[in-house]
Chains A and B, each alone.
Chain A
Amino acid sequence: MAIMKLFNNNPYFKYILGTIIFMIIVFIDLQIGLFASRTVNLLIRVVYFSIVAIGFNILLGYAGQISLGHAAFMGFGAYLTAFISNNFGLGFLPTIILSGLIPMIFGIVLGLVALRLERLYLAIATLGIGVTIEFVFREWVWFTNGFSGARLSRPEIFGFAFNNSRHFLLLATFILFLVVLFTYNLIRSKTGRALSAMRDSNHAAQAMGISLLKYKLIAFALSAFYVGLAGSLYAYAERYVHPSTWGAELSLDMLAMVVIGGLASIGGSITGAGFLVLVPRLVQDLPVIGGITNINFILTGLAMILVIRFMPIGIYNWFDYKVIQPFYYKMLNFDDPGGDD
């Protein structure tokens, strides 16, 4: 009971608790080797895609702006990390921050495009921009090493090298935790409200003094920063960056992450990242049908459609709405919040 009160009253509590529990598990794993190495790698991937999804959710879920070109920003962040650490040997922190900041500038440019374009037009135009950047990656061999791909090593902080994937998982989780807190603070204050207001009614938002220019730029800049940062973690985690990873398919995956996990929710972002990273791998391992050609694609596609069919508001939001909240209200005797179906 007390724990539950805590959950409800201190909004950070669930994030702190979740992070600590997760980190403890990884620590134990570090000692006794609980997970297969593949599991650890998958978890790392879930972590950096969670950052991607949170950034994308700021853009789509909160601000209501769509982009199908964000994969390019992730690639940009990844290449920057490889480029900076190979050529300038900057430390981990400056490198990942730069890898977020520079895409952010490009994000602002995309935001300017978004000022003119809307909805589907914006979606397809950004898709085109993303593809264009993907082609630039291929041609700028000095920056990306072309089709040979850029290689780099795992990061070092204060002389400690994160060569063990489990160590790196801890590091990445901690960064995700910081990102979650920052985002949580942000969306529950003036900026976050302004973004959501812009999404729900352009006109009313303006009448309340919200500058669409400013907040569209903020939304695109922030999301590009997050995605670039995640790209940086990608580079460190995978130690290899290849130009064909950053195409439209990845951008569409980002879209799927936030819609399937749950729009305008941090938990939804993480859930969605988990879904898109893990489901294709899980179906690959299904014993009986795993051998059928392309079964991984077919089942992943089906799973996506089933989620939309039965949990149209996203997996996390659906659970939150249908299971967790009613549970709180029953346990703590709050008034039912009502809400519509």
Chain B
Amino acid sequence: MKILEIKNMTKRFGGLVAVDDLSFQVEKGSIFGLIGPNGAGKTTVFNSITRFYDPEEGEVILRTQDDEINLLNYKSHQIANFGLARTFQNVELFGNMSVLDNMLVGAHTNIKTNFLIEGFRLPGFRNKENEAKEKAMDILGFLGLKKLANQFAKSQPYGVQKLLELGRVLMTEPRIILLDEPAAGMNDSETDKLSELLMKIRDEYNLTIFLVEHDMGLVMDICDEIVAINFGKSIMQGTPQEIQASPEVQEAYLGGDDEL
């Protein structure tokens, strides 16, 4: 099943067409890659799907077993409800909150209380909080961050912050996650670990991963399918091998094997 479908999306900034009549589909349960040169429009695609931008044209269809939702009809804070969550290209954590609280914010839509129940600790409050906390600790354990639970998010090194952002996304109980350059700033061996982690997440949490990445090692290693874009338009879609072999992609994005 195609869990996510982008149909003829166009997004302009003034005269600049950042995304240009772009269409592609993401298979449920896959790891799907979106690549392209700097400024090709990848982050803009993510921002449009999660409703931070209003594309001028197109549809974004999210499919569940028995339903089809056009995300463009909703506001950005409603998207998480449908099981779609994202990370940001420039890590966006809640810096002055603890690592654990960052995780709990991820559970926001799943904790059903209101401020009167919370303020007066009316019945039912404690259970919901505790469930969320347990789950957060589980995920932190899975990511190897358990020890840091009570520390400030902002004082964590970059690598931890990236993992935490990933953990926070998992807290929303997503069916599909959008990751914008998860490997940026990591060295090769760290990237290797990330590859393993992403596959594990896909399997254990039973979700679809849709990622933007410039690290070709990672992309080629783990992606089931890739779409390459340039100037907001699709150049080609295919398996990693097909993409690597494509002369257009070579020319626009990868560059030849010429020496320095």
| A/B: CB atoms within 8 Å of each other | yes
Verify B85–A222 contact, CB threshold 8 A: no
Verify A203–B120 contact, CB threshold 8 A: no
A208 surroundings in chain B (CB, below 8 A):
80, 85, 105-106, 108-109, 168, 172
Best-surrounded residue of A183, A203, A218, A222 (most CB of chain B within 10 A): A203
Verify B97–A200 contact, CB threshold 8 A: yes
Known: A337-B150, A339-B155. A201 touches B129 (CB 8 A): no
Separation of A55 and B30 alpha carbons in the complex (Å): 48
Separation of A204 and B97 alpha carbons in the complex (Å): 13
- Chain A residues within 8 Å of chain B by Cβ, number: 32
Best-surrounded residue of A192, A196, A209 (most CB of chain B within 10 A): A209
A207 surroundings in chain B (CB, below 8 A):
50, 76-77, 79-80, 85-86, 88, 92
Partner of A185 from the list B92, B119, B154 (CB cut-off 8 Å) is B119
Chain A contacts with B in 176-213, Cβ cutoff 8 A: 182-183, 185-186, 189-194, 196-197, 199-201, 203-212
Separation of A189 and B113 alpha carbons in the complex (Å): 9
- A-B contact number at CB 8 A: 110
Chain B contacts with A in 148-199, Cβ cutoff 8 A: 150-152, 154-155, 168, 172
Separation of A207 and B178 alpha carbons in the complex (Å): 11
Question: Which residue on B lies nearest to A200, using beta carbons?
Answer: B94
A265 CB, min distance to chain B CBs, angstroms: 11
Partner of B81 from the list A199, A203, A209 (CB cut-off 8 Å) is A209
Verify A209–B77 contact, CB threshold 8 A: yes
Does A264 belong to the interface (CB within 8 Å)? yes
Question: Which residue on A lies nearest to B115, using beta carbons?
Answer: A191
Verify B113–A196 contact, CB threshold 8 A: no
Verify A197–B97 contact, CB threshold 8 A: yes
B129 surroundings in chain A (CB, below 8 A):
189-190
Does A159 belong to the interface (CB within 8 Å)? no
Chain B contacts with A in 131-156, Cβ cutoff 8 A: 150-152, 154-155
Separation of A126 and B80 alpha carbons in the complex (Å): 33
Verify A196–B97 contact, CB threshold 8 A: yes
Verify B120–A197 contact, CB threshold 8 A: no
A205 surroundings in chain B (CB, below 8 A):
77, 94, 105
Does A338 belong to the interface (CB within 8 Å)? yes
B105 surroundings in chain A (CB, below 8 A):
193-194, 197, 205, 208, 210
Verify B93–A209 contact, CB threshold 8 A: no
Separation of A212 and B106 alpha carbons in the complex (Å): 15
- Per-residue CB contact flags for chain B residues 98-129 toward chain A (1 = under 8 Å, else 0) read 00010011101101011100111100010001
Separation of A210 and B105 alpha carbons in the complex (Å): 9
B122 CB, min distance to chain A CBs, angstroms: 10
Separation of A111 and B94 alpha carbons in the complex (Å): 22
Verify A339–B152 contact, CB threshold 8 A: yes
Separation of A212 and B96 alpha carbons in the complex (Å): 18
Verify A340–B152 contact, CB threshold 8 A: yes
Chain B contacts with A in 184-232, Cβ cutoff 8 A: none
Separation of A338 and B149 alpha carbons in the complex (Å): 12
Best-surrounded residue of B113, B119, B154 (most CB of chain A within 10 A): B119
B240 CB, min distance to chain A CBs, angstroms: 28
B54 CB, min distance to chain A CBs, angstroms: 14
Known: A190-B108, A210-B77. A204 touches B121 (CB 8 A): no
Does B78 belong to the interface (CB within 8 Å)? yes
Partner of B120 from the list A182, A199, A204, A206 (CB cut-off 8 Å) is A182
Verify A201–B97 contact, CB threshold 8 A: no
Known: A207-B85, A208-B168, A212-B77. A193 touches B108 (CB 8 A): yes
A59 CB, min distance to chain B CBs, angstroms: 14
Known: A196-B97, A196-B101. A185 touches B80 (CB 8 A): no
B95 surroundings in chain A (CB, below 8 A):
200-201
Separation of A218 and B119 alpha carbons in the complex (Å): 13
A183 surroundings in chain B (CB, below 8 A):
119
Verify B94–A186 contact, CB threshold 8 A: no
Verify A203–B52 contact, CB threshold 8 A: yes
Partner of B80 from the list A193, A196, A203, A209 (CB cut-off 8 Å) is A209
Chain B contacts with A in 26-70, Cβ cutoff 8 A: 50, 52
Question: Which residue on B lies nearest to A196, using beta carbons?
Answer: B97
Verify B115–A264 contact, CB threshold 8 A: no
Separation of A189 and B77 alpha carbons in the complex (Å): 19
Known: A193-B108, A339-B152, A340-B154. A200 touches B93 (CB 8 A): yes
Question: Which residue on B lies nearest to A335, using beta carbons?
Answer: B147
B50 surroundings in chain A (CB, below 8 A):
207
Separation of A190 and B131 alpha carbons in the complex (Å): 13
Chain A contacts with B in 191-245, Cβ cutoff 8 A: 191-194, 196-197, 199-201, 203-212, 218, 222
Chain A contacts with B in 119-160, Cβ cutoff 8 A: none
* Apart from A207-B76, A337-B151: 9 A-B pairs, beta carbons within 8 A: A182-B120, A189-B125, A191-B113, A191-B118, A200-B95, A203-B52, A207-B50, A207-B88, A222-B115
**What are 21 contact pairs spanning A and B, CB under 8 A?**
A185-B119, A185-B121, A189-B125, A190-B108, A191-B115, A193-B108, A196-B94, A197-B97, A200-B93, A200-B97, A201-B93, A204-B92, A204-B168, A205-B77, A208-B106, A209-B78, A209-B81, A210-B105, A264-B96, A338-B151, A338-B152
Closest 7 CB pairs of A and B: A209-B80, A209-B109, A200-B94, A189-B118, A204-B92, A340-B155, A182-B119
Q: Hey, which bits of chain A sit against chain B, CB under 8 A?
A: 182-183, 185-186, 189-194, 196-197, 199-201, 203-212, 218, 222, 264, 337-340
